[in-house]
Structure 1
Amino acid sequence: MQRVLLILSTLFALYACAPAQVHQRPAHKSSVVRPAAPVAKTVIPAPVTASIKAPALVSVMPVIDQPALVLDNAPHIALLLPLQSESFGVAANSVQQGFMAAASLDPQSLPVRVYSNFAENNSVAAVYREALANGARAVVGPLTRNGVKALAEVNNFPVPTLSLNILEMPPAHNLYFFGMAIDAEARQVAQLARQQGLQQAIVISANESLARRLQFAFEEQWIASGGSIVREIDFNGDPAVFADLVATPDNMVFFATSVEKTQQIHPFLPKELAAYATSQIFVGNDQKLINYELDGIHFIDMPWLLQPEQPAMLAYPRANPPLSTDNERLYALGLDAYRLTQLLLAEQWSALPLDGATGHLHLDHSVFRREALPAVFMQGHAQTADAPVTATEPMFPVQTIAPSAVPETTDSTIPQ
């Protein structure tokens, strides 16, 4: 009996020393990444303009077809981009990053759903109808000119639709166009040069489709503005064609050529000859050697690249890792596309014109026109034309040699 009592007392002591078990309620795993509830009134997010510190680089990861983020038939903004295209996937991803970066600053707006599994030239209409059936309250895209042509054939746009390329066509209800057509830049350059009192233009082009587009757009606007074309030069690699060019107070040269060809040509032109080009010759202010070779050339480009320290630009996150200059332009296109989408949803026409990341934007019938910033290359640095000359470190600093370090000259060392 004593042995039994001893065993029972031992077991009781062990039980008393054991830690108590706490039964916790399991955490709920939410599948909602972003609030999807729409608000009664859509407000266009405008960049903050006071006391802004530069934000840290924000990684904006690609988002491809996310039906899990938005319930079926839930209100959303549909973003139609060819992310899976071998030819346009990189460009589309840059636009998407910019669009999502702007959306991240506006959490109370409609969520964004990306549609990417389509071919822009033959199935974009079907994807557009799918987005509407899924509850889209606005549609943004497609990106390519062929895709926009295919979309325009739908003929019925029940929700605001912002295509990311420009077609000159009769307006259709709810269909709008916004893009960065290089032709429009050539026309703006022609207007800019005429406003500065220049009358005669020398156009330098090349046997390339883009160069021809720029040439024709510039010449059309130049002549319509009262200017005259005194010479057209096709550059084929031989600088001798520029030997007889002279500078006069009222003439100028327009480069329809690529940055590489413009680099080759510019040193052979008279320094006094006013020179103009589009944004295609600007590859970034980190490319100082290229910029030095383009010194003095006037061009136009967007605030996102020319004024990165302005408060309106600092309001937006930058892509991480950084993008190439061309893809930064597409990122800025995405930023402005989001702002314009909010404007269309709210029908806040009084917000126009507006200053965006890509330029000064205004609505011309169904086309959002973009006016870029005038700029000039100065001492290896691209800056806005009205800015003071930016002091930069010389590419090839002058070395000063102390007198004591100069060897004495003798007859044997004097060149004969």
Structure 2
Amino acid sequence: MFTGFKKMAALAGLAGGLGGLWMPVWAASPTADSVPLLAQAEASTQQVPSADPAAPQSGPAAFPASAPVRMALLLPNRGGMFGAAADAVRTGFLAAYARQKENIQLSVIETGDSVSDMQRAYDDASTRFDILIGPLSRSAVTSVAQSGHVTKPTIALAQPDLPGEAEPQLPPMMLTVGLSIDDEARQVANWVEKEKAPGKIFAVSTAVTWQKRAARSFLTRARQLGLQVETLELSTPGNVLSAPGLAQLAKRIEQEKPALVFAALDASQTVQLRSAVGAELPLYGTSQINPFTLNRDNQNDKMPELDGVKLIDLPWQLQPDNIAVARYPRPTGNENDRPNPDLARLYALGIDAYRIAYEIAQQRSGFDLDGVTGRLNVNMIRGGATYFQRQETQAIFQDGLPVPTADQY
């Protein structure tokens, strides 16, 4: 079972939560014309709906009112090492397209796995399509963003790979909408600031890349908010948290009495941490503390050891009655496979990526969406700066399962 951004990296070559380097599989990328088209809309005679009068009138691109808007979804090929992750995004994207395809002509283009393959496919597609969706990896997004070739609205499915906490300098026509463990950690810091008692905060991680990034992002944001935070790194002999390290942490907690702990850990590690430090100390974490999907194969599969732990995750993972979530089918997998929360999140990303692309196709430059990955705020003004923000759902473990909290910041 894949249970974290760390293991999602093994699926998608996206180390640390949709990140990492792509390894070359093909010597050269196929041309766009030689790859299969997985979906293509019939040319519609329906006019493109006019933009919301309240929205800015200078849209991201001037699409002809009567001609179909041509979209290209660029993903790694199904047979490559990133096939499972790409297939999850593709399936979600097509599920959203099936519900809202008016005046859209969609092509899905399979590319090679390397950054250079993806860049060549992107450059070719940008000459023939109106809106491009992709790439999927941080390194490929970085390449496209720095290429100087972004002349069409582009919805990147990951964040660029930048050192430290540097703010990305994106081309005016590029949005980055990928799921980000860094963004989640910053959102948890905002949440903590609104409800915590005075005192020091411990941010606990291991040496795993995504966990260190989450702890660093939490630390940076929390300090901006005036909070006192110290990061602590635990070793993991035999893939479990070090018993001496946990004992030392428990001793420090007893002596220093911190206000709370931010756990940049996965679910099983958080259980170990909770066992060592006790259930009285408030504990917060990211989506990686939730190992479940809404369509669990075993309804008795619970983690009561985490009751009281607070986290954020996607509506797709927490809110089956959410109007946006209920509109779309759950992905079907092999009946012998355990539901995979990381692939479920990528499926949800595919849904929201299409919905964003569809709004841009309607020449809406600024809009909000109640998305399956969170509440989305999007701005793409032609010739100006782009802006994207996702606010995920707050939750708390109750009776062994994460449940949305009544109050959302």
Mark yes or no: TM-score above 0.5.
Answer: yes
Task: State whether residues 354 and 361 of structure 1, in contact with CA within 8 Å, keep that contact through their aligned partners in structure 2.
Answer: yes
- Tell me how far apart the structure 2 counterparts of residues 290 and 183 of structure 1 sit (CA, whole Å): 27
Q: CA deviation at 1:40?
A: 3.1
Q: Residues 210-359 of structure 1: matches in 2 within 5 Å?
A: 210-230=210-230, 232-236=232-236, 237-238=242-243, 239-244=246-251, 245-246=253-254, 251-284=259-292, 286=296, 290-321=302-333, 323-350=339-366, 352-359=367-374
Q: CA deviation at 1:332?
A: 0.6
Q: CA deviation at 1:229?
A: 1.9
One-letter amino acid of the counterpart of residue 369, structure 1: Q
2:395 aligned with 1:375, yes or no? yes
SS in 2 for 1:368: strand
- Tell me how far apart the structure 1 counterparts of residues 319 and 132 of structure 2 sit (CA, whole Å): 30
Q: CA deviation at 1:314?
A: 1.2
- Tell me how far apart the structure 2 counterparts of residues 354 and 280 of structure 1 sit (CA, whole Å): 24
Alpha-carbon distance change, 235 to 293 in structure 1, aligned in 2, over 3 angstroms: farther
2:53 aligned with 1:37, yes or no? no
SS in 1 for 2:347: helix
Query: What is the CA deviation profile of residues 328-383 of structure 1, one whole-angstrom value per residue up to 9, with x for unaligned ones?
Result: 10011011000110122222135x22210000111374242211111010111211
- Tell me how far apart the structure 1 counterparts of residues 255 and 326 of structure 2 sit (CA, whole Å): 41
The CA RMSD over aligned residues, in Å, is: 2.7
Q: CA deviation at 1:166?
A: 1.6
One-letter amino acid of the counterpart of residue 345, structure 1: A
- Tell me how far apart the structure 2 counterparts of residues 333 and 176 of structure 1 sit (CA, whole Å): 14
SS in 1 for 2:279: coil
2:112 aligns with 118
Alpha-carbon distance change, 159 to 117 in structure 1, aligned in 2, over 3 angstroms: same
1:391 aligns with none
SS in 2 for 1:319: coil
Between Structure 1 and Structure 2, how many residues are aligned?
327
SS in 2 for 1:179: coil
2:212 aligned with 1:204, yes or no? no
SS in 2 for 1:172: coil
One-letter amino acid of the counterpart of residue 47, structure 2: A
- Tell me how far apart the structure 2 counterparts of residues 235 and 266 of structure 1 sit (CA, whole Å): 16
Give the TM-score taking structure 2 as reference length.
Answer: 0.73
1:175 aligns with 174
Q: CA deviation at 1:148?
A: 0.6
2:82 aligns with 88
Q: Which one of 155, 161, 164 corresponds to residue 157 of structure 2?
A: 164
Q: CA deviation at 1:76?
A: 2.3
One-letter amino acid of the counterpart of residue 126, structure 2: L
Task: State whether residues 120 and 146 of structure 1, in contact with CA within 8 Å, keep that contact through their aligned partners in structure 2.
Answer: no
Q: CA deviation at 1:253?
A: 0.4
Alpha-carbon distance change, 117 to 156 in structure 1, aligned in 2, over 3 angstroms: closer
2:92 aligned with 1:131, yes or no? no
Q: Residues 70-89 of structure 1: matches in 2 within 5 Å?
A: 76-84=70-78, 86-89=80-83
Of residues 238-247 and 340-349 in structure 1, the stretch that sits farther from structure 2 once superposed is 238-247
Q: CA deviation at 1:233?
A: 4.5
One-letter amino acid of the counterpart of residue 143, structure 2: A
SS in 1 for 2:176: strand
Task: State whether residues 160 and 345 of structure 1, in contact with CA within 8 Å, keep that contact through their aligned partners in structure 2.
Answer: no
Task: State whether residues 263 and 290 of structure 1, in contact with CA within 8 Å, keep that contact through their aligned partners in structure 2.
Answer: no
- Tell me how far apart the structure 2 counterparts of residues 319 and 359 of structure 1 sit (CA, whole Å): 19
One-letter amino acid of the counterpart of residue 272, structure 1: E
Query: What is the CA deviation profile of residues 128-187 of structure 1, one whole-angstrom value per residue up to 9, with x for unaligned ones?
Result: 232234x31110001000111121233133321111112343232312211111011011
Alignment gaps of 5+ in structure 2? 1-38, 52-66, 161-166, 237-241, 380-384
Higher RCO (CA < 8 A, seq sep 6+):
2
SS in 1 for 2:254: coil
SS in 1 for 2:377: strand
Query: What is the CA deviation profile of residues 277-303 of structure 1, one whole-angstrom value per residue up to 9, with x for unaligned ones?
Result: 000110116475552121111000011
Q: Which one of 372, 377, 386 corresponds to residue 406 of structure 2?
A: 386
Q: CA deviation at 1:74?
A: 8.3
2:140 aligned with 1:147, yes or no? yes
Give the TM-score taking structure 1 as reference length.
Answer: 0.72
Alpha-carbon distance change, 290 to 248 in structure 1, aligned in 2, over 3 angstroms: farther
Task: State whether residues 336 and 356 of structure 1, in contact with CA within 8 Å, keep that contact through their aligned partners in structure 2.
Answer: yes
Task: State whether residues 96 and 351 of structure 2, in contact with CA within 8 Å, keep that contact through their aligned partners in structure 1.
Answer: yes
Task: State whether residues 255 and 277 of structure 1, in contact with CA within 8 Å, keep that contact through their aligned partners in structure 2.
Answer: yes
Task: State whether residues 204 and 235 of structure 1, in contact with CA within 8 Å, keep that contact through their aligned partners in structure 2.
Answer: no
- Tell me how far apart the structure 2 counterparts of residues 88 and 315 of structure 1 sit (CA, whole Å): 28
